[in-house]
Structure 1
């Protein structure tokens, strides 16, 4: 899996930019499953997303999912267009 591991509390320290390929539609189903696992079982998901400093990887609970964003703890939003990879 690619990306430098960071703590979820440090996501806002980076400027998130769109990934080279927009995988929003492809990742929607897996992110929906991640949201369900997070809400029902407090299960964590690994999300790799693009920043100006290169890909970053975070292990976190997905709280909610909208058409354009995934929300994690403390109201942090990650744009779907920035997500490179998701694993449950």
Structure 2
């Protein structure tokens, strides 16, 4: 898995930008599963997203999913078009 590991509390230190390839459609079912894992089992998901400083990787609980964003702890929103990889 690519991306420098950062603490999810430090996401605000980075400017999130769209990934080279928008994988929103192909990752949608995986993100729905990650949301279910987070809400029902408090299980964490590894997510890689694009920033101006290159790909960053976090381990977090997915709280909710909208058409454009994934929401994690503390109301932090990550644009779906910025997500490169999801794994759990």
Q: Runs of 4+ in structure 1 displaced over 4 angstroms? A: none
Question: Which residue in the other structure is 2:24 paired with?
Answer: 24
CA displacement at 1:78 relative to structure 2? 0.2
CA displacement at 1:39 relative to structure 2? 0.2
| Cα RMSD, aligned residues only | 0.3
- The answer to whether residue 69 in structure 2 is matched with residue 79 in structure 1 is no
Question: Which residue in the other structure is 1:55 paired with?
Answer: 55
1:28-74: per-residue Cα shift (whole Å, max 9, x none)?
Answer: 00000000000000000000000000000000000000000000000
CA displacement at 1:86 relative to structure 2? 0.2
TM-score of the aligned structures, taking structure 2 as reference length: 0.99
Q: Alignment length, in residue pairs?
A: 88
